[in-house]
Amino acid sequence: MVSITIDGKPVQVEKGSTILAAAQQLDIKIPTLCYHPLLEPYAACRICNVEVTAGIESKLMTACNTQVQEGMEVQTASEAALTARRINLQLLMARAPAAEVVWQMAAEIGIEETPFIMEKPDQKCILCGLCVRACESIVGTAAIGFAHRGIDREVTTPYQIQSDVCITCGACAYFCPTGAITMEDIKGRTVIHQEMTLGPPKAIYIPFMQAVPNVPVINTEACIHFKTGNCGICQQVCEPDAIDYEQEDEYEEIEVGTIVLATGFQTFDPARVAQYGYGRLPNVITSLEFERLSNASGPTGGDIQLEDGTKPGRIGIIHCVGSRDKNTNAYCSKVCCMYSLKIAHLAMEKTGAEVYNFYIDMRTPGKGYEEFYDRLLEEGNHFIRGRVAEVTDWAMIPEEEGKLVIRAEDTLVGMVRRIPVDMVILAVGLEPVHDAEEVRRLFNISCGAEGWFLERHPKLAPVSTFTDGVFLAGVCQGPKDIPDSVAQSGAAAAEALALADRGYVELEPNTAFVLEDDCSGCKTCIALCPFSAISFDGDKEVAVMNEALCKGCGVCVAACPSGSIQQHLFTDEQIYAEIEGVLSYV
């Protein structure tokens, strides 16, 4: 340890520490612009000048890169240090007149103007070199550097042309202390609704605030380390050492007795309804994107904005996009009406905008739902009954110029209406997940015509499937809201626990069996069995029935060309006996 004194206060710090680090330990603030704890100190701005006394000699030194020595006495606010700091700030004010942070720092020590000439009023760069060092030492690409000398010195790309090695990671913009480097959308958008970000995607993030487990994940496509092999800052600053770049996805086989399928749903892709302009027209967003936009932890902090950063004055909400439409999905998604009403309420509350709802008919069957609908009517929301024909930016009158125009039939008044709005929200429906068919095959269960998993019986066994031990929970069985999903999940969990607690499985009494002596080994039954209960014995060249899997459907019995498969309770002798019994009364 090294003992030094800063502003008369003694302190002990580790050998090799800088004066700046020692001052931070005493909560003494030393201003600096070009220092960042993740980069090697460079002392380019020289704002951190302090007066150091070692022995009988005193001199000015930069605190960010000067290591402490035993017995050193440091004065952070001596007259010599403050004079040097004032002169350096005045030089930076002349060099970068548009750098607000420099002027704020100068104002803190009583400087309001600079005696030096300000040749470039819009200049923000103070040539601290943080961006250059970050690009070289962290990103490892060296896409930018210093060019020219003297007053013409600047930060630029090699030969001042677009650099091919730049990976647009945004590290230079992140480290720049004056805002001289910014990341901007090439189309000039402030908010990108489809991407829901205000800049480059973050390489490490928590998927969403309610994620389980609630831990960060690394996007390997955006991470600098996976692109260049450099960086690794997150690993350096992570105190629990929880980040390991060598980890890979692992697949484990776990033997279980029961399985609850809760594969969820995916939202309808509104790009399939081209007339609504999603992906083609600006400010046409989905309900899920609006949820992200209005969330306090979202990219705008919950502020509802158009792509140019302004607030919408008129908002149109189109219900039943991808639902109740024979061209897409004929079924009702069940949740769209209520979440559209919630969006209408939020939009009006946060923006004061005029909100128009375009609906086919309003379905509010839940507890308190109808009252909420009445509340929105009283709040002044507009409800137009009729399916929207199209959303266009083609203006027919001056009031429609620069607006999105919703053209829809109003069935209550019997006319076609054109409503100009600033933002269109598409209330998209629910669909089975894209790999539902693969999951169905994997667990040998059934699907309905729409792709939702099919329960064994809608009233007597609503969470069971035709495969023993496999139960359904949530929207994978069909559209439902959160209360219904929670209730069904509880029922599925209870069924699974009951089966595990019982300790045995009841088999069907009418299973099929094979008469080996009569089996020709044609394998016709194997392909027909919907429960995969029949296998083939290669040694005996006969079919083998697994009665634990057989459900007694009788398909194999009817299809067997040699009559070698019989079914309990329905053997030939039993059927003949039943026929004889019936005929005995004739």
> Tokens for 5?
């004194």
Over residues 34-66, the pLDDT tens digits come to: 888 888 888 888 888 899 887 778 888 898 888
pLDDT at 358: 95
pLDDT greater than 90 at residue 265:
yes
User: Residue 403's pLDDT band (boundaries 50, 70, 90)?
Assistant: very high
Cα-Cα-Cα-Cα dihedral sign, residues 192, 194, 196, 199: negative
Better pLDDT: 201 or 364: 364
- Spatial CA neighbour of 360 closest among 411, 326, 405: 411
pLDDT at 65: 87
3-state secondary structure of 52: strand
User: Residue 158's pLDDT band (boundaries 50, 70, 90)?
Assistant: confident
Give the position of tokens 């002798």.
573
User: Residue 269's pLDDT band (boundaries 50, 70, 90)?
Assistant: very high
User: Residue 507's pLDDT band (boundaries 50, 70, 90)?
Assistant: confident
User: Residue 200's pLDDT band (boundaries 50, 70, 90)?
Assistant: very low
User: Residue 359's pLDDT band (boundaries 50, 70, 90)?
Assistant: very high
Among 39-43, 223-227, 309-313, 425-429, the range with the most confident prediction by mean pLDDT is 425-429
Task: State mean pLDDT over 91-97.
Answer: 90
Task: State mean pLDDT over 158-165.
Answer: 80
pLDDT at 548: 83
Task: State mean pLDDT over 221-229.
Answer: 81
pLDDT at 194: 66
User: Residue 199's pLDDT band (boundaries 50, 70, 90)?
Assistant: very low
pLDDT at 209: 65
Task: State mean pLDDT over 139-156.
Answer: 85
Q: Under 8 Å CB-to-CB from 411, ≥6 apart: which residues?
A: 385, 386
What is the average pLDDT value for the chain, to the nearest integer?
A: 88
Integer Cα distance of 416 and 412 in angstroms: 11
Peptide bond into 270 cis (omega under 30): no
Integer Cα distance of 290 and 199 in angstroms: 18
Task: State mean pLDDT over 236-242.
Answer: 84
Measured in whole angstroms, the distance separating CA 129 from the mean position of its chain's CA atoms is 34
pLDDT greater than 60 at residue 197:
no
Q: Label each residue of 139-167 as H, E or C.
A: HCCCCCEEECCHHHCEEECHHHCCCCCCC
User: Residue 391's pLDDT band (boundaries 50, 70, 90)?
Assistant: very high
- Note the maximum CA span of the chain: 132
Task: State mean pLDDT over 482-501.
Answer: 92
> What are residue 197's DSSP bridge partners?
192
User: Residue 283's pLDDT band (boundaries 50, 70, 90)?
Assistant: very high
Better pLDDT: 403 or 164: 403
Task: State mean pLDDT over 194-213.
Answer: 65
Q: What percent of the chain has pLDDT over 90?
A: 40
Integer Cα distance of 436 and 317 in angstroms: 30
Give the position of tokens 């499937």.
465
Compute, in degrees rounded to 10, the torsion defined by CA atoms 458, 461, 464, 469: -170
pLDDT at 196: 54
pLDDT greater than 50 at residue 472:
yes
Q: Which helix (H) or strand (E) holds 259?
A: strand 259-261
3-state secondary structure of 237: helix
Task: State mean pLDDT over 389-413.
Answer: 92
Window from 183-187, 312-316, 441-445 with minimum mean pLDDT: 183-187
pLDDT at 195: 63
Over residues 515-574, the pLDDT tens digits come to: 999 999 999 999 898 888 899 999 989 999 988 888 888 899 999 998 899 999 988 888
Q: What percent of the chain has pLDDT over 70?
A: 98
Task: State mean pLDDT over 223-247.
Answer: 84
Integer Cα distance of 187 and 394 in angstroms: 21
pLDDT at 496: 92
